[in-house]
């Protein structure tokens, strides 16, 4: 009974008009066609059911956004999470590239220093 209440609170089972998905709603796959947004294949496949508790205000915002885009709340959440994770992956990749570039610059500068300056730098770092 409790699981049903949680799912109902998230709009999964409830039959009121707010949670009923109109027939015009699109899936994540169809929602991305023509928008230039690509969702990684991992996010497009059918997954396991996962129950999440959302604060009422956040649920309301997601509902408004999903209606504006003619998608189900589930599709909107998957799309938003997919975009966020892709941004994080790109950010991590950029951070790694920046780190490698900094190490390369430091290495070149260290090789250009005289032995005396290298010893002074090491003493300063200790």
> If DSSP codes are grouped into helix, strand and coil, which group holds residue 121?
helix
pLDDT band (50, 70, 90) for residue 12: very low
Is residue 78's pLDDT more than 60?
Answer: yes
10: nearest Cα among 69, 66, 52: 52
More confident residue, 19 or 114: 114
Q: Can you give the pLDDT at residue 45? A: 59
Domain count, the chain: 1
Task: Give the residue numbers spanning the domain of 6.
Answer: 2-125
Q: Can you give the pTM of this predicted structure?
A: 0.44
Task: List, for residues 41-75, the tens digit of each pLDDT value.
Answer: 565 556 788 889 999 999 999 999 999 999 999 99
């Amino acid at each position: 009974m409790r699981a049903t209440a949680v799912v109902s609170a998230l709009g999964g089972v409830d039959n009121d008009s707010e949670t009923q998905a109109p027939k015009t709603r699109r899936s994540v796959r169809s929602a991305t066609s023509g928008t230039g947004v690509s969702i990684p294949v991992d996010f497009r496949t059918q997954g396991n059911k996962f129950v999440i508790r959302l604060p009422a205000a956040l649920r309301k915002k997601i509902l408004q956004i999903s209606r504006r885009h003619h998608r189900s709340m589930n599709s909107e959440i998957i799309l938003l999470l997919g975009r966020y994770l892709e941004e994080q992956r790109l950010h991590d990749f950029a951070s790694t590239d920046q780190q490698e570039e900094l190490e390369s610059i430091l290495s070149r500068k260290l090789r250009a220093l005289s032995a005396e300056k290298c010893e002074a730098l090491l003493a300063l770092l200790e």
